[in-house]
Structure 1
Amino acid sequence: MKDSHHLHCCGNVPYKISGSSCCNGKITRGLSQLVADCCDSVAYNPLNEICCNGRVQTRSSPQAKCCGEDIYLTTTHLCCGGNKIFKWKENHTCCGKELYDMTTHCCCIGPTLEVKTKNEICCPKPTDSNKKTECKQSSSLTRTLPKNAELKCGSKPYNPLKRICCSGKLHKKASALTKCCGEEVYVLSDDSVVCCNGILHHNVPEQSECVGGVIYIPENTTCQMSARPRLGEHCCGGHTFNPHTHICCNGHSHNKMNGNFCCGSDVYDHHNQLLRCCSGHLYNLTHFQGKAECCGNLLLESDETQTCCSSSTNTIIYDTKPNHSCCGHYYYNTSLWSCCAEHLKPTSKPNSPPAQYRLKPLMDLIPEMCNKTVFFGKVESVALENHQRHVVLKVVWQVDVKSEKIIKDSWLHVSLDHCSSPATDNGMTYLWWKKHNGEYKLLSPPLDLTSDIHMFYSVCYQKKG
């Protein structure tokens, strides 16, 4: 079995961005680079922490900012001169490192910034011409004041209109379509690259897709060879294969005697309890002690000390902390943020608890769901009303394993608690469960209709037999 997880280099040391971060040549374990920022040589979670002059501190509020090495709230205080904090007062603002009353004083710009009474010569007079001067002085004052710490990438200041910060590394911003992929940048309009789980893949064919951490290339009827296959032959990568005796997994042909399901480029027997497929990565559990479950393409080895947070774009493992919860693939402090349908808001709402469950890969659901009323439902439209998300579903495939009855093309109206349910996208198909009380529950991330329906039906039917 091959380890298909991609490695990056941090100095001379290899590391995986799925569980570690690299900052200035030093590795921080237990925090994925996909959600981390750098504070000098230490990685930190910017949702729950803040970096002030190279020191990581716990956030007291989502509105917290740095003033030198100290933290202050922009809603109640002012930071003057980059390192002096004053309590906010009406009609007061900064002049260098001083706070002054704009109704009685002014800020004079000379060799240094000084607070003067309004009768001083340098203060603008209440005439139209002087109003223009006052505007010029205010503009000059704004440029003279130090920039906020929020315009820093690690410890380096930058202009977000011209540059972009990706996991602590600065890059030139070619256009508004420039986006981060791990530490690298790419342009959304570039069809030759694909960002897959924080790894940028170059020179890929057009229309290539990232699914479960694996790059899928559009079907090629020539088997990626110079000549077309003969009539009746099937393509598998650069070769042909017999689908009656072999199975093709990502361009690699395998004998069905070794298994009849693909996991990335490998084949495996789903009856083998010592093998676990996690989004294209096959794990051998022979030497594993305890319960294991998938967290995207990673293996969650302990559900007590580790927490898996997943969204439709990323799945990340975090060290479990008290008063923290998942919001999509982010792990947030519930006293700082609130989560609604996998979107964070900088306000804590104790009366709106986060989702108590996460979506799981289909193979993790199959053993439990084979004897339940489940179906593949495509989201056609969504409407919000009184904290409820009303979803119109097209049932594209429902299998009653007991009676072997197949139901297709029916319609359902499903209501979910909006904030505590994972997000849904129009046009995507998910696995749903109808409970005994008539309520519906979303179970899986978006599914592939052809392969996932086949896998679900064949595995559950075999289990029934």
Structure 2
Amino acid sequence: MEVYTSTACVTILCILATFSAQGITDTGSHSNTGSSGPMESSPQLRCGNLDYFSSESSCCNGNLTHGLSQLVADCCESVAYNPLNKICCNGSVITRTSAQMSCYKSKDSELSSPTGPTTPELKCGSETYDPKKKMCCSGKLYKASALNKCCGADIYTPFDDHVLCCNGILHINVSKNSECVAGVVYTPENTTCNLSARPRLDEHCCGGKIFNPRTHICCNGHSHSKKNGNFCCGSDVYDHHKEFMKCCSGHLKHTHHKERAECCGNLLLNKTNQICCSSSTHAIRYDTKPNHHCCGHYYYNTSLWSCCAEHLKPTPSPNSSHAGDGLKPLMDLIPDICNKTVFFGKVESVALGTFKRHIVLKVVNVVKDPWLNVSLDHCSSPALEIGMTYLWEENSNANAYKPLSVSFDLISDIHMYFTVCKHKCQKGG
């Protein structure tokens, strides 16, 4: 099998052609955010008079709680809390004594007599709602209907010819038969960039303006000179050779640490007193606590829960194995990954054994026998989806493999990987 290392790398064009043939293509604007799909950076929100990001803070009734992501928090009146390890009873946050703990009606008995599980309620921002009656669009509640769909925090009906949802932004009063292509709204009257005047043929659009791709780069609708860098991080451009710059899921971070900084979603991680728990959908930063471990993007108390394949069970087991390092966006692994023996493998099928998960991989760009059988420890390994492609590491001495990256579908990620690592690469067999 051919793998990609500091001494054995496949030509970039060959790799990109392989991914294109398999249908793995760019799905958005031509930008490299360091993450794609559900792990994209969270938008800036408003809590009272303060701005915040849901990846690092929570808003409950206008009160902002720092250090606990809204993605894993519930509200107890105006206080945010982690429902895995705590419970809200009569407006007070109490530490759980068991996973099944719930509140009694009387305040005196709720602290001493935990009961069986209660029916979970869905949250939309700080409000609970019934999904049969309401639907939640990015923290806003609307009347539920089979015809309605979310577009960011707005709601629309797809049958309306004059409304178009494009990259989470709802465009109203657009012309009939308008289309959303790579984040740009194209109309029959004006086929390029939504500009008032029709530009010349073969001109490229970037955020409603014309740009020259030979001299400039377009990052989420913002044009930048290539003199400032050749890679996008959200709407910014940066030079990956600069030591103290790090792209964390679409957010460009300036670091001042001697050691290379580590990303946790769109945040920087302080490895002294913080831990990053990640899954295929989220990466959440937590303050470290004793007897707590990661299970996917959740941080749980081992006396209340056990974890297997990123699934929590309210049955703590003293002999249960804890998950290793979680999967990271491909760009967060660079440049450390350049010196490892890695390959891109697509999960074709999965079978569960007694303690192992047996996986059939199709290795990208291997012509002779691309099929590879891999066995992972079931509970301590991250959950993988059939049909998705991941970056894998090979330990040739132990004949062992492990997944490193979250699944991806952006050619720009692959391009950056080979561009950054190419100075250490040569073609090998």
TM over 0.5: yes
1:462 aligns with 2:423: yes
Q: Distance in 2 between matches of 1:434 and 1:464?
A: 17
Find the counterpart in structure 2 of residue 275 from structure 1. 245
| CA drift at 1:233 | 3.3
Count how many residue pairs are aligned between Structure 1 and Structure 2. Answer: 359
Q: Secondary structure at the match of 2:252?
A: strand
Counterpart pick for 2:267 among 292, 298, 311: 298
TM-score, structure 2 normalization? 0.74
Alpha-carbon distance change, 386 to 65 in structure 1, aligned in 2, over 3 angstroms: same
Question: Is the 8 Å Cα contact of residues 346 and 362 (structure 2) preserved in structure 1?
Answer: yes
Q: Output aligned runs, 1:33-432, within 5 Å.
A: 33-67=70-104, 68-69=106-107, 70-71=110-111, 72-74=113-115, 150=118, 164-171=122-129, 173-175=131-133, 178-179=135-136, 181-182=138-139, 190-194=148-152, 200=153, 205-206=164-165, 208=167, 217-218=182-183, 222-225=191-194, 230-285=200-255, 287=256, 292-300=261-269, 302-397=270-365, 410-432=370-392
TM-score, structure 1 normalization? 0.69
- The one-letter amino acid paired with 2:51 is P
Alpha-carbon distance change, 267 to 229 in structure 1, aligned in 2, over 3 angstroms: same
- The one-letter amino acid paired with 1:292 is A
- The one-letter amino acid paired with 2:392 is W
Return the index of the structure with the highest Cα Rg. Answer: 1
Q: Distance in 2 between matches of 1:189 and 1:411?
A: 43
Cα deviation 1:253-280 (Å, max 9, x = unaligned): 2221111111111111000011110111
| CA drift at 1:337 | 0.8
Question: Is the 8 Å Cα contact of residues 149 and 155 (structure 2) preserved in structure 1?
Answer: no
| CA drift at 1:184 | 5.2
- The one-letter amino acid paired with 1:73 is P
Q: Distance in 2 between matches of 1:241 and 1:357?
A: 41
| CA drift at 1:174 | 5.0
Find the counterpart in structure 2 of residue 445 from structure 1. 406
Q: Secondary structure at the match of 1:451?
A: helix
Higher normalized contact order (CA 8 Å, seq sep 6+, divided by chain length): 2
Counterpart pick for 2:52 among 4, 12, 15: 15
Q: Distance in 1 between matches of 2:416 and 2:206?
A: 19
Deviates more, 1:231-240 or 1:326-335: 231-240
Question: Is the 8 Å Cα contact of residues 280 and 327 (structure 2) preserved in structure 1?
Answer: no
Q: Distance in 1 between matches of 2:46 and 2:344?
A: 41
Q: Secondary structure at the match of 1:326?
A: strand
Q: Distance in 1 between matches of 2:99 and 2:278?
A: 22
Question: Is the 8 Å Cα contact of residues 36 and 167 (structure 1) preserved in structure 2?
Answer: no
- The one-letter amino acid paired with 2:280 is S
Question: Is the 8 Å Cα contact of residues 331 and 413 (structure 2) preserved in structure 1?
Answer: no
- The one-letter amino acid paired with 2:151 is V
Question: Is the 8 Å Cα contact of residues 74 and 81 (structure 2) preserved in structure 1?
Answer: yes
Alpha-carbon distance change, 432 to 5 in structure 1, aligned in 2, over 3 angstroms: closer
Cα deviation 1:440-460 (Å, max 9, x = unaligned): 111011123411111111110
| CA drift at 1:182 | 4.4
Q: Secondary structure at the match of 1:64?
A: coil
- The one-letter amino acid paired with 1:434 is E
Deviates more, 1:445-454 or 1:323-332: 445-454
Q: Distance in 2 between matches of 1:448 and 1:201?
A: 27
Q: Distance in 2 between matches of 1:271 and 1:216?
A: 32
Alpha-carbon distance change, 14 to 186 in structure 1, aligned in 2, over 3 angstroms: farther
Cα deviation 1:78-106 (Å, max 9, x = unaligned): xxxxxxxxxxxxxxxxxxxxxxxxxxxxx
Q: Distance in 2 between matches of 1:344 and 1:254?
A: 45
Cα deviation 1:114-155 (Å, max 9, x = unaligned): xxxxxxxxxxxxxxxxxxxxxxxxxxxxxxxxxx9x469xxx
- The one-letter amino acid paired with 1:74 is T
Alpha-carbon distance change, 390 to 205 in structure 1, aligned in 2, over 3 angstroms: farther
Alpha-carbon distance change, 61 to 219 in structure 1, aligned in 2, over 3 angstroms: same
Q: Secondary structure at the match of 1:66?
A: coil
Alpha-carbon distance change, 205 to 264 in structure 1, aligned in 2, over 3 angstroms: farther
Percent identity of the aligned residues? 58
**What's the Cα RMSD here?**
3.2
Q: Which runs of 5+ in 1 are unaligned?
A: 76-147, 153-159, 195-199, 399-406
Q: Secondary structure at the match of 2:241?
A: coil
| CA drift at 1:220 | 6.2
Q: Distance in 2 between matches of 1:369 and 1:351?
A: 32
Cα deviation 1:166-196 (Å, max 9, x = unaligned): 34313464558x35744656969755514xx
Alpha-carbon distance change, 180 to 337 in structure 1, aligned in 2, over 3 angstroms: farther
